[in-house]
Chain A
Amino acid sequence: MMSLVERANAVKELFEQVDRLWESYVAEVRRSLREWERLRPLLAERLSVLKSMIASNLEEMQELSLKLELGLVDEAKAKRRLEELNAETPRLVRELEELWVLREKIVRDSILHMRRAGMPIDVSEEDIAGKEKEVEECFKASIISKEAFEKLKEILAEQLAALKPPSPD
């Protein structure tokens, strides 16, 4: 049978273990955030390029069809180019959607862990509102699909929720 002192020491040891785990958690959060900061510019660049390429392809497809109708381009050449664009664009859209969803999930997780670890959060409600607007514009311009649009809106809503202070209970 453990004495009272022994039991008290065991409980104290448990709290020390919790402290060690906490320090380890905070260190891991910092490490993850550092990695995230290194990756973030590359993701931002690729996303921006993909959006621009898709928008430009969609414009070209629309214009080519119209030029074909107006007799301004050679039919065989226009069809060949349209085939190329039809093959390339969905591939670019898939890459964009996958990367965009991943990025927003990482942002959501980073907010969550920064808050838990008591670190200053570098994302504001205005930033999220700006992203919501961009997602909507991209959906309207057919740069992303309806599924991706809905998924992104859902994740952005989770980001907003993560920004709010936790309820007292």
Chain B
Amino acid sequence: MASAGVCPGLYRVGNKFYCRYAKDAEVDPAFMPCVMDYWNCEFYKRWKAEEERKKQAPESVAAPKPEEAAVVRVEAPRPRPAVPLPPLQPTPPPSVDEVEELIQRAVELGRLWESYEREARAVIDAWEEARARLRREIQSLEKSIDAYAAELERLELKAKVGMMPKEEFEEIKASIDAELSKRVSLRDQLEKRLSELDRVVLPHFKRIKAAEAKPEIAKLRLALAKLDQKLKSGEISKEVYERLRSELEDRIRRLERIREEVEE
């Protein structure tokens, strides 16, 4: 479906776009020059240069003819005569069909963007829930690890002062060590999974939130002011206030960063 305005390397599978010049990586045409400006894209330029090189390669690497190989001729570069450029032809106006096609493509893009936005919002919602669940799980594991470590310390002391036979201590220690290592490994796995999840979802989060960063920041600032009022009127405790305030400030900072990135 390549045409003059769309990069020939762009293709679609389902609702996703991919670029064959970027090793088939997923791309977002709304944020990349795939449409109407693809000749400025680095991936396209690299591919074009490679194509040119391939075209020239057979001529430059062709084996020399025997008579040429025997006699090495050295020629001084001769100045080329200036070739007069043909006069510039006025670009014909786009035909009705071309304009119609362009309109159709723009409409299609809008539809795709809406569909992307809907899907991305669903993913972001699920991501926020999964993130909270993973965090709770990690917190539980931390508590579990701390409790086992404290028990181990207590038993070591007991064995040291002779209140527990050495063999009994070793046996219990081995079972605690096994449990501890299971939990440490599970916690590490969950932390890794959480960071992988953030890595893949954050680009979508940024893209979606970029459009609504400003009103969202205003909404959060208003909530902060209301929170201050609630503390002053004694409706909420200092502890709850501090926790929520820090969360809101963190969200504002994150959105401000996204806004700055977009504005840059």
Known A71-B219, A122-B163; contact A53-B240, beta-carbon cutoff 8 A: no
With beta carbons under 8 angstroms apart, the residue of B125, B144, B151 that contacts A49 is B144
Known A37-B172, A49-B143; contact A71-B163, beta-carbon cutoff 8 A: no
Q: B144 near A63 (CB under 8 angstroms)?
A: no
Q: B244 near A37 (CB under 8 angstroms)?
A: no
Query: Which secondary structure dominates where chain B touches chain A?
Result: helix
CB-contacts of A12-35 with B (<8 A): 34
Bound Cα distance A52, B227 (Å): 26
Bound Cα distance A37, B248 (Å): 46
Bound Cα distance A144, B161 (Å): 35
Tell me whether B24 is interfacial, beta carbon within 8 Å.
no
Known A41-B148, A70-B227; contact A49-B240, beta-carbon cutoff 8 A: no
Tell me whether A59 is interfacial, beta carbon within 8 Å.
yes
Closest to B162 in A: A120
Which A residues lie within 8 Å of B257 (CB)?
A: none
> Residues of A within 8 Å of B, CB-based: how many?
25
Tell me whether A147 is interfacial, beta carbon within 8 Å.
no
Which B residues lie within 8 Å of A34 (CB)?
A: 168
Q: A49 near B147 (CB under 8 angstroms)?
A: yes
Which B residues lie within 8 Å of A66 (CB)?
A: 227, 230, 236, 240, 244
Q: B164 near A37 (CB under 8 angstroms)?
A: yes
Bound Cα distance A73, B46 (Å): 46
B200-244 contact mask (Cβ, 8 Å, vs A): 1 or 0: 000000000000000000011001001100100000100010011
Which B residues lie within 8 Å of A49 (CB)?
A: 140, 143-144, 147
Bound Cα distance A51, B143 (Å): 9
Tell me whether A56 is interfacial, beta carbon within 8 Å.
yes
Which B residues lie within 8 Å of A40 (CB)?
A: 151
Q: B139 near A37 (CB under 8 angstroms)?
A: no
B interface residues (Cβ-Cβ under 8 A, vs A): 125, 136, 139-140, 143-144, 146-148, 150-152, 155, 158, 163-164, 168, 172, 175-176, 179, 219-220, 223, 226-227, 230, 236, 240, 243-244, 248
A interface residues (Cβ-Cβ under 8 A, vs B): 34, 37-38, 40-41, 44-45, 47-49, 51-53, 56, 59, 62-63, 66-67, 70-72, 77, 120, 122
